């Protein structure tokens, strides 16, 4: 697409889840472990590396959907475009209800939902247009980027609102996002996530590995539930005797809705979270 034609288009598109009682001590004796201790240790150690590898693979797969010409453009951005991308990269963006999240790299953006789904998309910025409007209460700087994805050209609009008290707020919107009509704004992920309520009987079912329980929950929430801080056990457990797994669920502390499930595989000694 010719740059003049892109600028023209920018101007024309300016608007933007069999419950069992927890008295299950007999289950502790049920440990049909099929792997040796050495194998289990290696599997546990490989978990974070596999996760990181998946992220790299997803990005590589997304970039492979671009043409060589599009990839070349990603390495030739001017300073204004680089500054625009720097703002996108510096923030974790979320819809008002926190159900949809977006994070950016130089060449891709990752969309995540509070249901544990994610998708990586490669993007190329063709042209960037800036406008400024002022009132007595605020100054609004609007940046509209004509952006190429594998399925065509879309527009990403970033608004910077500078208020009279010098507070600044950003809003992001695009027809290429999963929620195309929603405004996304920066959020601060929770640094301190706590897991409470688990009694000794349940901890025994999980191999008394409280640290692993907490780290698994924290790692998952950092990606899909970044604004939640306190998780409380919902006071029941679910056992799958055939697969030798046990699952407990958590609700947000002081809340009623169960939002997170943690599954422990007693064969492999591994844990996995998912949203409910």
10 pLDDT higher than 70: no
pLDDT value of position 190: 80
Q: Report which secondary-structure segment, H or E, holds 271.
A: strand 270-275
Using DSSP's 3-state secondary structure scheme, residue 262 falls into: strand
Query: Residue 121 in contact with residue 176, Cβ under 8 Å?
Result: yes
Helix (H, G, I), strand (E, B) or coil at 99: coil
Burial class of 266 by CB neighbour count within 10 A (0 to 12, 13 to 18, 19+) = buried
pLDDT the model gives residue 18: 32
Q: Is it the case that residue 15 has pLDDT exceeding 50?
A: no
What is the rounded distance in angstroms from the CA atom of residue 90 to the CA atom of residue 213?
30
Q: What is the pTM of this model?
A: 0.68
User: Following DSSP, what letter does each residue of 43-66 receive, concatenated?
Assistant: HHHHHHHHHHHHHHHHHHHHHTTS
Q: What are the tens digits of pLDDT across the range 101-155?
A: 999 999 999 999 999 999 999 999 999 999 999 999 999 999 999 999 999 999 9
């Amino acid at each position: 697409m010719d740059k003049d034609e892109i600028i023209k288009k920018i101007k024309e598109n300016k608007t933007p889840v069999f419950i069992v009682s927890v008295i299950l001590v007999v289950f502790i004796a049920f440990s049909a472990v099929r792997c040796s201790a050495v194998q289990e240790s290696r599997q546990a150690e490989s978990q974070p590396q596999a996760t990181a590898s998946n992220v790299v693979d997803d990005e590589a797969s997304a970039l492979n959907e671009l043409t060589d010409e599009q990839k070349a453009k990603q390495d030739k951005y001017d300073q204004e475009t680089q500054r625009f991308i720097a703002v996108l990269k510096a923030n974790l963006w979320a819809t008002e209800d926190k159900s949809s999240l977006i994070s950016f790299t130089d060449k891709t953006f990752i969309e995540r939902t509070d249901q544990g789904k994610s998708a990586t998309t490669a993007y190329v910025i063709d042209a960037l247009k800036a406008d400024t409007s002022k009132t007595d209460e605020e100054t609004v700087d609007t940046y509209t980027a004509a952006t190429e994805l594998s399925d065509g050209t879309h527009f990403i609009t970033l608004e910077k609102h500078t208020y009279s008290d010098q507070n600044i707020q950003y809003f992001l919107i695009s027809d290429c996002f999963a929620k195309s009509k929603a405004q996304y704004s920066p959020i601060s992920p929770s640094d301190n996530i706590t897991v409470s309520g688990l009694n000794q009987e349940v901890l025994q079912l999980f191999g008394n590995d409280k640290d692993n329980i907490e780290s698994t929950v924290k790692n998952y929430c950092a990606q899909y539930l970044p604004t939640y801080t306190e998780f409380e056990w919902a006071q029941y457990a679910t056992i799958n005797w055939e697969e030798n797994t046990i699952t407990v669920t958590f609700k947000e502390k002081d809340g009623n809705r169960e939002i997170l499930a943690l599954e422990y595989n007693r064969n492999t000694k591994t844990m996995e979270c998912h949203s409910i």
